[in-house]
Amino acid sequence: MVDIVNELRADAVLRRKIQKELPQLFHIAELESSRAGKIGMEVGSVRERILVALFIYKFGAENVHTEIPITESEVDVKVQGMPISIKTLTSHGFAGVKVVWTVDEQSALQFSHHYTPRSDMLFIQINWENHGGSY
């Protein structure tokens, strides 16, 4: 994963595009995933598709494997053969990240205490307050 992130960072033109356009695209994802003023949980899938499109743009479709079975609990995409779990967060101040989707607090706590990652994780956070406000 480090190599992939370093390749993204080393491309100055792409880095500027990411800094400018990723917040705009994430904002659109929030608008498209909102109903009655609340952002739905499907926003994560929309953001994930935005990032997968970025990987395809940078590394080519032949190096980005998106046909991951829904039963694969952690892997969202494979880039250059490396499995990656994508987590995204946009916030207006402090916000948390879900460890596991469950309504049972005890199950969530148990999962968090015994969790060992099986893939690299890409965590993207956009804090609207630090980005100059909403679009």
Which residues form the domain of 108? Answer: 2-127
> DSSP for the chain?
-HHHHHHHHH-HHHHHHHHHHHHHHHHHHHHHTEETTEE-TTHHHHHHHHHHHHHHHHH-GGGEE----TT-SS--EEETTEEEEEEEEEESS-----SS--S-HHHHHHHHHH---SSEEEEEEEETTTTTS--
Position 28 in a domain: yes
pLDDT score recorded for residue 128:
73
Q: What's the number of domains the chain is made of?
A: 1
Residue 133 lies in a domain: no
In a domain, 104, yes or no: yes
pLDDT at 135: 45
User: How confident is the chain (135 residues) per 10-residue block, as mean pLDDT?
Assistant: 83 91 92 91 92 95 94 88 89 64 81 84 79 50
CATH of the domain at 115: 3.40.600.30
Whether 132 maps to a domain, the answer reads no
Whether 135 is in a domain gets the answer no
